[in-house]
Chain A
């Protein structure tokens, strides 16, 4: 069962884990102890395999998630036959749902001492900067080749047919910085994985990857990304009406 981080962090009653962490880290409050305990729990549990869907992680029954899911349009057979494309542009037209999307991520990351939000071109750019501004972090674009001027490092990743490449500016991120990687949707995890590798190559600590939409299969594929993954909603199969 995936740990319910948000609920645990709010819990002011000391748990066995938090008492242990209080022994390890004296001079912390009980709720701080709970937070540290959760981080320890995550670390020692197979954190790199954790795919957390918001509904199962502190936001069960949250009406915002339903509205966010409904605001996403499904376009069948794009970019090719058989693919049910999850179109977030309709979410961006729904001011409240868009704001709620950003708020959920900001609420999650604001106290995690994140100094870098890395967004994957181009739809990661639509969510990442607002989250970065909300938590006081830098925004770093991870771009397709030859878009970033100046010195970059590159990471190749596999597509269904062929390969693609992501680039990061040299000097944008310092060693030791805590980062999250944002994209609109995660399917195979290839793009996120490339983003994680780029950040780790410059010495950053990638705390988590976050996406608005995640296919249920990611629960079994987190090993590829190697980092915890936080997702708001699953893809829908088709729009109901006309």
Chain B
């Protein structure tokens, strides 16, 4: 069955200012749906199982689904929105508050690890700098190497570069020569996908050296910015969606 995944069009983000979740009001939660969408198919992951003839299976999947929902709910609630940062009109999704919530941070890592542990991933590539926070724990748990994708002139030794466009101007991403081998299976991690420019550059860098990019994974997606369109044929997996 193919069903379009539900969007969070009913949500309005009321970002009352910025207080850490433990101290102040929580903003409206976004719908948290783990979505993996290859370009050829859209799969719907139901949030709640409805009654079915096979009660035992339903109960098992319902319990597992409930557990997943509550983890996603707390992850979503732990992310703080800062209006007008870095400039007016931008609603910045701040994951530092997620890192302060030990259970939610652990759940975030666990959700990625559960997804990728049996996919023979040999490389987790994390994008500077917030990808460095999520990537290494995932890499350690699934037995993969961690490779930092960095801003220019940070990596010592021989690098390859990929330019990508920003709203105004361009930026460059670098990776060490020899960090990855042809045939490596890679996962690319960042905290958030917006326009997809950074992830797109990372995909190109890895593919240039013969790596197979299995999937891109982010904690947050801003679907309005259509970042998925810049990923070519690479699937994207996210935990929560936010308003741009």
Interface residues of A, Cβ cutoff 8 Å to B = 73, 75, 78-79, 85, 87, 89, 92-95, 98-99, 102, 121-123, 125-127, 129-130, 132-133, 136-141, 143, 146-151, 169, 171-172
Contact = CB atoms under 8 A, between A and B. Distances in A.
B99 A92 contact: no
A126 B99 contact: no
Contacts of A146: 86
Given A89-B148, A95-B140, A125 B156 contact: no
Q: Count chain B CB atoms within 10 A of each CB in A95, A99, A133 and give the residue with the most.
A: A133
- The interface residues of chain B, by DSSP majority, are classed as mixed
Interface string B96-112: 10011110011001000
A73 B86 CA distance: 36
Contacts of B132: 122-123, 125-126
Given A75-B157, A133-B106, A95 B137 contact: no
Given A75-B156, A95-B139, A139 B99 contact: yes
Contact of A125 (B82, B133, B139, B147): B133
B60 interface: no
A95 B143 contact: yes
Nearest to B83: A149
Contacts of A129: 99, 105, 133-134, 136-137
B204 to A, nearest CB: 20
A226 to B, nearest CB: 25
A172 B136 contact: no
B156 A122 contact: no
Interface stretch (B3-11, B15-23, B221-229): B15-23
Interface of B: 18-20, 23, 80, 82, 85-86, 92, 94, 96, 99-102, 105-106, 109, 128-129, 132-134, 136-137, 139-140, 143-148, 150, 153-157, 176, 179
Contacts of B106: 133
Nearest to B100: A138
B41 to A, nearest CB: 33
Contact of B96 (A92, A95, A132, A169): A169
A129 B133 CA distance: 6
A133 B153 CA distance: 30
A78 B159 CA distance: 13
Contacts of A126: 132, 136, 146, 148
Given A129-B99, A133-B109, A89 B129 contact: no
A148 B96 contact: yes
Dominant secondary structure of chain A at its interface with chain B: mixed
Contact of A138 (B19, B99, B144, B179): B99
Contact of A78 (B92, B109, B156): B156
Nearest to B175: A89
Contact of B140 (A98, A136, A169): A98
A9 B52 CA distance: 57
A224 to B, nearest CB: 25
21 contacts: A75-B156, A75-B157, A87-B157, A92-B145, A92-B148, A95-B140, A95-B143, A122-B128, A122-B132, A122-B150, A125-B129, A125-B132, A137-B102, A139-B105, A140-B96, A141-B99, A149-B18, A149-B86, A149-B94, A169-B96, A171-B19
A122 B134 CA distance: 13
A147 B139 CA distance: 25
Nearest to A173: B100
Given A129-B134, A129-B137, A140-B99, A121 B18 contact: no
A150 B99 contact: no
Given A121-B129, A122-B129, A172-B20, A87 B137 contact: no
B145 A172 contact: no
A31 B128 CA distance: 43
B176 A133 contact: no
B105 A89 contact: no
B103 to A, nearest CB: 9
A143 B129 CA distance: 10
Contacts of B23: 171
A75 B140 CA distance: 25
A150 B85 contact: yes
A149 B100 CA distance: 15
B244 to A, nearest CB: 15
Nearest to B132: A125
Contacts of B92: 149
A127 B92 CA distance: 25
B182 to A, nearest CB: 15
